[in-house]
Amino acid sequence: MKSFNPPSRILMGPGPSDVHPRILNAMAKTTIGHLDPSFIDMMDEIKKMLQYAFMTENALTMPISAPGSAGMEACFVNLVEPGDKVIVCINGVFGSRMKENVTRIGGQVIIIEDDWGMPVSPQKLEQCLHENPDTKIVAFVHAETSTGALSDAKLLCEIAKKYNCLTIVDAVTSLVGSELRVDDWGIDAIYSGSQKCLSAMPGLSPVSFSEKAVHKISNRKTPVTSWFLDLNLVMGYWGKGAKRAYHHTAPVNTLYGLHESLVMLYEEGLENSWNRHQQNHQLLRDGLIELGISYLVEKSSRLPQLNSVFIPEGVNDAEVRTTLLNDYNMEIGAGLGNLAGKIWRIGLMGYTSRKENIELCLSALKKTI
């Protein structure tokens, strides 16, 4: 056995994205204890910078020590109790995972479905809430990674609020890549991932909970079904100043990396990050159109950081992706579910979202096709 030396890749798939060298360097620094006063100071800075990234003043804002799927589960196991009626909006793979969480907890699921590639329908949500006024929670995906569709989170939350529902929002792909305003839009619980537009390494899930969500968590009639993700316990480590209660051994060096990625976000500016992703999306879109490649999602609902495009007729999906990987060290994503073999998912997230990567991708596709 020998030490592992990974090949150099350009990650232009649905995630992870390329990790910036500054973040890799930060992760290589000396490991210290997870209760060290210096580390606790850094934790407080992470919380403050995540509040900026989410555009929120929520005190309960922090990274879960696990990937985005654990952030999703943290939201559901803390907010949903057995018998709670939950509307889950499904327009792709990750809405289906929300449904699975509610079912396993013992909640009563009501599903609203939209075609893959379409945003969540506000009209369907309004009608469903009118028919189910005892609904407790509305859950939807802001940026559906399986299709590249962006839903109107602000409007969906406004509708949910009219019926006194809490909202759970998946922002794994949208955080810092698309406009997202947790407080202004009235989002109650939200989760994301470190490996997408934050351009950090996989393995952390930033989350944020409103005061209303915290009130529900604090006044549950039943215990949270997960010990590790019970926020009443986790906050003893993340939320009580210098006197932290031991809960788990935090991934120290991984948090160094998240801290550095958030410092870089501060340097660039949040709105500048949103604009960079949009401008680079337009550059890629124009080049793909010249190659005769069309989009799955309508222009008004396209994610700039995740471009789902139809594979040209007669082109072999797997052969093209293999050639890009072997000849150009470039990874693009395949379609999922009923879109497998029909689309490619081309990511422009975080550090990957650069002009030189777009030019190489377009040139490689042109030659390969």
- Sorted by where each begins, the domain ranges of the chain are 10-15+270-368, 22-266
CATH class of 10-15+270-368: alpha beta
Predicted local distance difference test score (pLDDT) of residue 242: 56
Other C-beta atoms closer than 10 Å to the C-beta of 106 total 13
Predicted local distance difference test score (pLDDT) of residue 241: 57
Q: Which of the residues in the chain have pLDDT under 70?
A: 240-243
Predicted local distance difference test score (pLDDT) of residue 238: 83
Predicted local distance difference test score (pLDDT) of residue 13: 97
What residues contact residue 64 under an 8 Å CB cut-off, 6+ apart?
A: 70, 71, 74, 191, 204, 205, 206, 207, 229, 234
The residue among 343, 321, 318, 345 whose CA lies nearest residue 333 is 345
CA 24 to chain centre: 21
Predicted local distance difference test score (pLDDT) of residue 240: 61
How far, in Å, CA of 139 to CA of 129, rounded?
A: 12
What residues contact residue 196 under an 8 Å CB cut-off, 6+ apart?
A: 15, 16, 17, 172, 173, 175, 177, 305, 349, 350
pTM of the model: 0.96
* Fold for the domain defined by 22-266: Aspartate Aminotransferase; domain 2 (3.40.640)
Q: What is the per-residue pLDDT across 294-334, written as a single tens digit (0 to 9) for each?
A: 999 999 999 999 999 999 999 999 999 999 999 999 999 99
Predicted local distance difference test score (pLDDT) of residue 350: 97
Q: How far is CA 45 from CA 79, 241, 266, in A?
A: 26, 12, 12
